Chains A and B, each alone.
Chain A
Amino acid sequence: MVDRILGRGRDTAATETPPAELTVAEQKARVWSRVQLARNLRRPRTLELLGAMADEFVELHGDRLFGDDEAIVAGLATIGGHRVAVVGQQKGADTEENVRRSFGMPHPEGYRKAMRIMELADRSGLPIVTFVDVPGAHPGPESEERGIADAIARAVGLMTRLRVPIVTVITGEGGSGGALAIAVGDVVLALENAVYAVISPEGCASILWRTTDEAPTAAFAMKMTAQDQLALGVVDEVVPEPSEGAHTDHAETARRLKEVIVRELDRLAAIPVDVLVEQRYRRYRSLGAYTELAGPAPTPQIPPRGGLADRLRGLLEAGQRAMPAPLQVGRRDEPPAREDV
């Protein structure tokens, strides 16, 4: 089925399928320990990684619209001889820095700064490298007021059409839309203990299990480890971390990452830009698992009518006669908004 999902011929054998003798509980525990590693406070962030791998980094600030969001850092850098633009999330190392950086949860101005730098890179012909490590975009009222959804949507859209190579690295937490907004790449790398998910395991557990206590179960069910993401085709390559994890050796983590980033920048530089952009579009266009059944739509909810098309036609005709009868408004209406999502 995985082939069917991807159509991108990834080597699934390279993933770490847990040995069969592990119980479900043990597998869950393994996944959960990876989530903890991805969230480790001493894990290297964008600035630490750049400090170790870049010859130079010129940070640029502000979105020109509202302010400068320190949960996202952006600028120009030289990595292994490549001049690039860099965008990355930055959690704090201590409480004071975390307050300044909103615990690594960017507001709209952070994503708008990212877009500004990426557009600059596009105009200047600079490849883009992004570092993703975010619990999620900031969910507070100011974030909504200033349009966090708009900022994320437009950043994602922008990245699908930029005419320069994009190398993305999931370095820690790949937290949903807040991660994807800087993670649409020609190639998506992940550190070994990084995780990537559509919702935090706590959020998923509270909706589907009705308790955050089931977060490890949710993390396991969502297949959020780097290895699982590789198998799903969302991630293209997993970069091994040193010894006990990236937090134990920043320099070695950066060295390994740099090697892969530089290799990918070299590879992508050789691809004509039209091909590059089309390949990136196809990469995301092909993700998702569905089948296409032949024949008419399923037998409809309104028994006497035919296929869905017939039913719609019936409704349309009836609509002119002041709407049809058997619509059962009450029954389907008003489930809690977040209930069964």
Chain B
Amino acid sequence: MPMKFPSFRSRRESFPEKMWTRCPSCEEQLFNKQLERSMNVCPSCGHHFRLPAPVRLGQLLDEGTFEERDPGLVSQDPLGFVDQKPYTDRLAAAQLATGLRDAAVWGYGRIEGQRIAILVMDFGFMGGSMGAVTGEKVARAAEGALAEHVPLVIVSASGGARMQEGTLALMQLAKTMGALERLRAAGVPYVSVMSDPTTGGVFASYAVVGDVNLAEPNALIGFAGARVGAGTIGQELPPGFQRTEFLFRHGFIDRIVARPDLRRELAAVLRYLAPQRAEAGRG
């Protein structure tokens, strides 16, 4: 069936391109070209800006090696959900704004020559929320990694499960964990990379259970939204609560990796895990 999306000739064309971005952390005015050269990390304070999925893939993978899989998956509206806007409108708006069909992109690619299955989330698509499509892509990525016996890498950026899909979004936790358990049983390595933010049902499923967990500095990472937690419990929150360094201190993250080092560190970890496991799995 031919696609009948609204025009994706995005609104961007009608606006002059922005030249400057203000760093939300140190308030420095940054020239956009300079920011891009520094991998969207503020050169003055090290603030890691959130990345659109394609940019993330560009930063991590060897040039021209990405083969996308299942680009056609699109969420439906199983609940007929309407809050202040209908869910279908929110989906259409997010598609228009990002050029993606949902909050995750997956496929195969290479990091320093090593073939991997990779899934990257995009916070710009409805807060990176996980609905049926993202859950399905994670499961297919895990099943794909298992079938080809290549390591799986997932880069998370998500506010959690997508409320507009109700418990069907919650069920994606079981769907993704089921697939990852099978990957694990087969001895295929899985590296989870957490970026800002990784919270809720995404953190409490595939993001937290990597064989190796890497995270970008000062990312918001946690289960309960800070407001939910404070409101429910009425307790003072410790400083740095739910930031990368907090999770690192409590033993849930192996390495805090600044973005310019991420590709190299990922490749290094994968070199250790992949060949040995692959042999064992094939034996």
Whether A222 and B166, one on each chain, are in contact in the complex, defined by CB atoms closer than 8 angstroms, is yes
Q: Mark A301-322, 1 if CB is under 8 A from B, else 0.
A: 1110001110111011111101
Closest to A154 in B: B209
- Is residue B98 within 8 Å, beta carbon to beta carbon, of the partner chain? yes
* CB-based contact A341/B36 at 8 Å: no
Contact assessment for A334 and B224 in the assembled complex, using a CB-CB cutoff below 8 Å:
no
Task: Assess the B59–A319 pair: CB atoms within 8 A.
Answer: yes
Cα(A316)–Cα(B67), bound, Å: 12
Contact of A232 among B40, B78, B220, B227 (CB under 8 A): B78
Count contacts on B: residues with CB < 8 A to the other chain.
127
Which of B12, B64, B83 is close to A301, meaning CB atoms less than 8 Å apart? B12
Residue A5 CB within 8 A of the other chain: yes
* CB of B65 within 8 Å of the partner chain: yes
Q: How large is the interface on A (under 10, 10 to 19, 20 to 34, 35 or more residues)?
A: 35 or more
In the docked arrangement, what's the CA distance between A281 and B98, Å?
33
Cα A295 to Cα B99 with chains together (Å): 15
Q: Is the CB of B58 within 8 A of A232?
A: no
Given A149-B204, A299-B99, A308-B71, A139–B17 Cβ distance below 8 Å?
A: no
Interface, chain B (partner A; CB < 8 A) = 1-3, 5, 7-10, 12-13, 17-18, 20-22, 24, 32-33, 35-37, 39-40, 49-50, 52, 54-55, 57-59, 61-68, 70-79, 81-84, 90, 95, 97-101, 105, 123-124, 126-129, 131-133, 135-136, 139, 159-163, 165-175, 177-182, 185, 196-197, 199-201, 203-209, 220, 222-225, 227-229, 232-233, 235, 237-238, 241-242, 246, 250-252
Q: Which residues on the A side are within 8 Å of B179 (C-beta)? A: 285
Q: With contacts A180-B174, A221-B83, A322-B37 known, what are 13 further pairs, Cβ within 8 A?
A: A149-B203, A161-B178, A161-B181, A198-B169, A224-B166, A288-B165, A291-B73, A293-B74, A301-B8, A318-B58, A319-B58, A332-B97, A339-B159
Residue of chain B at shortest CB distance from A308: B71
A126-152 vs B, Cβ < 8 Å mask (1 yes, 0 no)? 000000000011111101111111101
Contact A341 B162 (CB under 8 A): yes
- For this complex, 6 residue pairs linking A to B, each with C-beta atoms less than 8 Å apart, are A144-B223, A288-B168, A288-B169, A299-B7, A319-B63, A328-B17
With known contacts A316-B57, A339-B127, A341-B129, A325–B232 Cβ distance under 8 A: no
Residues of A within 8 A of B159 (CB): 337-341
Residues of A within 8 A of B250 (CB): 144-147
Would you call B63 and A292 a contact (CB within 8 A)?
no
CB of B202 to closest CB in A, whole Å: 9
List, in ascending order, chain B residues with CB within 8 A of A177's CB: 170, 173, 200-201, 204, 223
Contact A139 B232 (CB under 8 A): yes
A33 CB → nearest B CB, Å: 19
